[in-house]
Amino acid sequence: MPLFEAVRMALHMLRAQKLKSFFSLVGVVIGVTFLIAVVSIIQGMNVYMEDEFANRLIGLNTFQVRRMPGINTGEVSEETWRAWMRRPRLTYADADYIAARVRTPVNFSRYCSERLELR
């Protein structure tokens, strides 16, 4: 069957079965509309998670100044541990010094945590 004959036959069937053609068209339009809506909602949720939720919960775009590493991966030798302990303690004066020299607008906070060994 030539292409022209197939197109002519398809158009004839569309004219003959108008209601069936209408409902098929409505089904396709509804399906495409819902697909676009779902993709838009998912992209909006991703933007929200990156900008709002993760930024507040995890603290993206932040840094910490510490005396010792916050996370140790693997075994730490006794010599390395002692070198960390010999580092000078951070003071509020150190925090004020850093805050005064930061060039970008930031929210600044100080946090103190000490480990004590009771005997």
DSSP letters along 65-118, please?
A: --SS-SS--S---HHHHHHHHHSPPP-HHHHHHHHHH--S--------------
| Mean pLDDT calculated for residue range 69-90 | 84
pLDDT of 43: 95
Residues 108 and 102: beta-carbon distance below 8 Å: yes
Give me the residue label for tokens 């509804």: 30
pTM of structure: 0.44
Residues 6 or more apart whose Cβ sits within 8 Å of residue 69: 84
pLDDT of 49: 80
pLDDT of 100: 86
Q: pLDDT: is 111 or 79 the higher one? A: 79
Long-range contact set of residues 97-105: C-beta below 8 Å, sequence gap at least 24: 98/65
Domain regions of the chain by residue span: 3-57
Residue type (1 letter), 47: V
Residues 6 or more apart whose Cβ sits within 8 Å of residue 102: 108
Which stretch of DSSP H or E encloses residue 44? helix 18-48
